[in-house]
Structure 1
C-alpha cells in the first residue's frame, strides 16, 4: 500500500505538547513579545496577542501581556505551535564587530575581572535590539571576551538614552548570581539627573504606583492609583545635590524598585520637575534654551554583591552633554572614585 504524497504547500502539523522554557540570565528585562520574536520569529503579533488574551501563554503560571518585562529564571508556558523550521529562530552567527566598534567598547570598560565586566554605557547606544535598531550593545559583546571562551552576558539594562554603569557577566554561573542580585534588590543604584526646576522639599521619597499604557505613539509609563489594575508599586528616594536657583537642580536618585521609566515619571509627575531633555514625559517643560536637548539621566554608581564574594562598587563619569550642562549651570563636576572590591 503506497503512502499518499504530502503537498509541498500543506501547513506543518501542530505541536501537541505544551512547552515550558526558562528565561536565561542574559534575557532579563526583555519584553515578552520580543522574547517570542527572538525564539519564534514567524509567529505573528496577532497570533501572539490572541494567545495572551486567552491565557494560553503564561509567565510563572500567571497571565501576562506583550509588554511584560521578564526576569531571569521565570518559566514561560508556550501553547502548542505549528512545528517545523519556520517557527524556530534561525541560528545565525553574530555579525562581525568592526575594529572601530571593538575599540569603542574597550574604552567603555570601567572594571574587569574573571567574573564581571562593568561598562560606562554612552548616551544613545541601545543595550538590546528592537524594531528599527540595527546597532546595539548585545550584538557587539564578542569584542569583550578578552580571551575567554564564553561570550559576556547582559544581566540588567539601561534605556538607550540613559548613560552610565552597566554590568556584564563573563560566565553563566556569574550571570545567574548577578541576575538574582538584581532581581532580589540586593543592588544599590545611584542615578544623577538634571531636573528642570527645583523640587521642594529638597529631599524625600516618591511612592507613586506606575502602570504601562498603550497609545498611538507606543507604550509609556503613567502614574496609577494604588491597587488599580496593572499598577505596580514604585519607590524612589531623592535629594537635591545642587541647584541653579529655581531654574534647574542636580538630583541624586535612588530607585528602590525597578519599573520601566520609573525615574523619568517620578521626576515629572511625582516632583513636578521633569528631567532635562525628557520630551516624552516632560514635553516642552523639559527643555532649557541653550542646553543640549538630550536626556540628562546618568547611572552614576552601583554597589552589588560580587559573584566570587564580597562587594563591588563602581562609579561612571558624566557623559559629555551632562558635563557641558554642569559647566553652564555652575555645578561642581565631581571626581569619579576608582572601582573598589571589598569584603562586606
Structure 2
C-alpha cells in the first residue's frame, strides 16, 4: 500500500524546470511511453484535446440517439486516460497532496490572432475541467510504480512459451483496432481466483497484445465450463464502449419489444438438453436470485417466485428447438436478452424442465439416469486430436455423450455486435456524428470437439 508518509517523501515538490513534453496522439498513451521520454523531475502528459466519452458513445450506439449531456473531461479523468497503468487510488492521493500541476493558457495574454503568448503553471484539482491545450505535470517518481509493475510482468512472461502462444493464437476468430475475439475452450477460466493458476485474461495480456500498447480487457464473461465467443477490448476506450453497450442491453431489455426492436447486440448459444420443452420456441421472462446452500459455503442461482421476499434480477431468454433426437435429447438455440449469472442454465433446468447435458450443478438428477452412447468410428482428424497434448491442462478430446461423464454442452456460437472500431473513427472525424447506420460484425465460433461429437452421434 502507498501510505501517506511514503507518498509525501516520494512526491516532494520538485522544480518545474526542466520539463519534457510528450508528443500528443489521439489515442491513450501508455505510461511506458511517458517514462522513456521524461527526463526532468516532472512527468509531462500530452496537451489536452477533446476526447471521446466511451460510456456516452456506447449508449449512443445502442439507442441510436445522441445524448444531450456530452460531459466534460476533468484533470483526474485525463490522467487516468493518459496513464491507465496508474492506480486510481494513487492518482487521488496525488491530488490530495497537491502534487499535480497544470499548464494552461492565460486568457489575458492572447494576441490579435488568438494565439497564446503566455502560459501559466499552477496547482489543479481533480474535478477541474480541462481546456484545449492544457498540460498536466505529475511527479516523475510515479515511474517507480510502473518500473516495479514492469519487472513483475517480465517475470511472469518468462514462464510462457511458444507452444502456449501458438495455442492462444489458434483461438482467435477476429481482430481489429478496437476488439479481439476468441473461441474460448471448455475448461479454461476467464478470470483468476481462488485455486486458479492460469486464466484467459492473464494469458491474453501477454499472448494477444500483438502490436497494441495495451493489454486486452474483458468485456463480458463465460462460465469456466462454457465455450464459445468471448470479446475483449484492445483499448480502454473500446472496452468502456462495449461495457456500456452490454449494460444498456441488459437494463433496457423487456418482453414487449422483442419482436419490434432489432437488437444491435445479439448472442446465440447452442445447448444440448435432456428431454424436450413443451413448446418449440418461446420467451422466458422470470427473475433470478442467489441462495446459499445448507453447507453455508456454496451458492446457486434460482428462479424467484416472489421478488418482494428476496433480492432478484430480471432475466429474459428466447429459445427455439434446433433439432430433437429419438434418444430423448434436444438441441436448443438460446438467446439471452439479459446477462445474468447462470441465466441460461437455470432457465433451461427450472423453467423448461430440460437441464443442459454436463450441468451437474443444476441438472444432477437428470444425470443419475444417464447412460453413455456407443461411440462412432473416428476420422483421421479426430485421431490426430486425441494424440495431441494441449497446454494449461486442457482436455478437449473427451466429454461427448459417448463418455461416462459428459462435459457441459453450452456454447456461445454466434454473436452480432456493432463495429466499435468504425464508431470510434466516426466519432473522432465527424461532428455531429452519424451512428444510426453503423454496420455490424457477425461472428461465428465452431462447436467444440465434445459437442460436435455429440451432434454426430445423435444424428447418426
TM-score by length of 2: 0.51
Equivalent residues of 2:281, 2:319 under 8 A apart? yes
Equivalent residues of 1:110, 1:120 under 8 A apart? yes
Matched, 1:289 2:352: no
Q: In structure 2, which of residues 359, 366, 391 is the aligned counterpart of residue 278 of structure 1? A: 359
Q: Equivalent residue for 1:93?
A: 153
Q: In structure 1, which of residues 215, 224, 242 is the aligned counterpart of residue 304 of structure 2? A: 224
Q: What RMSD in Å do the two structures reach over aligned CA positions?
A: 2.5
Residues 39 and 123 of structure 1, relative CA distance in 2, 3 Å threshold: farther
Which sits farther off after the overlay, 104-113 or 215-224? 215-224
Q: In structure 2, which of residues 322, 326, 347 is the aligned counterpart of residue 266 of structure 1? A: 347
Q: Equivalent residue for 1:83?
A: none
Matched, 1:195 2:273: yes
Which sits farther off after the overlay, 221-230 or 104-113? 221-230
Q: Equivalent residue for 1:58?
A: none
Matched, 1:329 2:458: yes
How far 1:311 sits from its partner (Å)?
A: 1.2
Q: In structure 2, which of residues 316, 322, 344 is the aligned counterpart of residue 235 of structure 1? A: 316
Q: Equivalent residue for 1:178?
A: 242
CA distance in 2, matches of 1:260, 1:144: 26
1:1-344 alignment runs, 5 A limit = 91=149, 92-93=152-153, 95-96=156-157, 97-141=160-204, 142-185=206-249, 186-215=264-293, 216=295, 218-228=298-308, 229-245=310-326, 247-286=328-367, 288-290=370-372, 291=401, 292=403, 293-307=406-420, 308-309=422-423, 310-330=439-459
Aligned pairs, number: 251
Residues 120 and 279 of structure 1, relative CA distance in 2, 3 Å threshold: same
Q: Equivalent residue for 1:30?
A: none
Equivalent residues of 2:225, 2:408 under 8 A apart? yes
Task: In structure 1, list runs of 5 or more residues that go unmatched.
Answer: 1-11, 14-23, 26-37, 41-87, 332-344
How far 1:116 sits from its partner (Å)?
A: 1.2
Secondary structure, in 3 states, of the residue corresponding to 2:457?
helix
CA distance in 1, matches of 2:241, 2:161: 31
Secondary structure, in 3 states, of the residue corresponding to 1:327?
helix
How far 1:284 sits from its partner (Å)?
A: 3.5
CA distance in 2, matches of 1:189, 1:233: 18
Q: Which has the higher strand share?
A: 1
Equivalent residues of 1:206, 1:236 under 8 A apart? yes
Secondary structure, in 3 states, of the residue corresponding to 1:127?
coil
Task: In structure 2, list runs of 5 or more residues that go unmatched.
Answer: 5-53, 56-86, 90-144, 250-263, 373-400, 424-438
CA distance in 1, matches of 2:273, 2:88: 40
Q: Which has the higher helix share?
A: 2
CA deviation digits over 1:105-128, x for unaligned, max 9? 100001111111110000000000
Runs of 4+ residues over 6 Å off in structure 1? none
TM-score by length of 1: 0.68
CA distance in 2, matches of 1:231, 1:116: 32
Secondary structure, in 3 states, of the residue corresponding to 1:93?
helix
Equivalent residues of 1:275, 1:286 under 8 A apart? no
Secondary structure, in 3 states, of the residue corresponding to 1:239?
strand
Secondary structure, in 3 states, of the residue corresponding to 2:153?
coil
CA distance in 1, matches of 2:350, 2:457: 26
Query: Which has the larger Rg?
Result: 2
CA distance in 2, matches of 1:130, 1:102: 22
CA distance in 1, matches of 2:365, 2:270: 21
How far 1:286 sits from its partner (Å)?
A: 3.9
CA deviation digits over 1:122-181, x for unaligned, max 9? 000000011100011011112111122111111111000000000011111111111111
Secondary structure, in 3 states, of the residue corresponding to 2:283?
strand
Equivalent residues of 1:198, 1:245 under 8 A apart? no
CA deviation digits over 1:237-290, x for unaligned, max 9? 101010003600000001111110000000000000100010100004047321
CA distance in 1, matches of 2:315, 2:238: 28
Equivalent residues of 2:201, 2:216 under 8 A apart? no
How far 1:205 sits from its partner (Å)?
A: 1.1
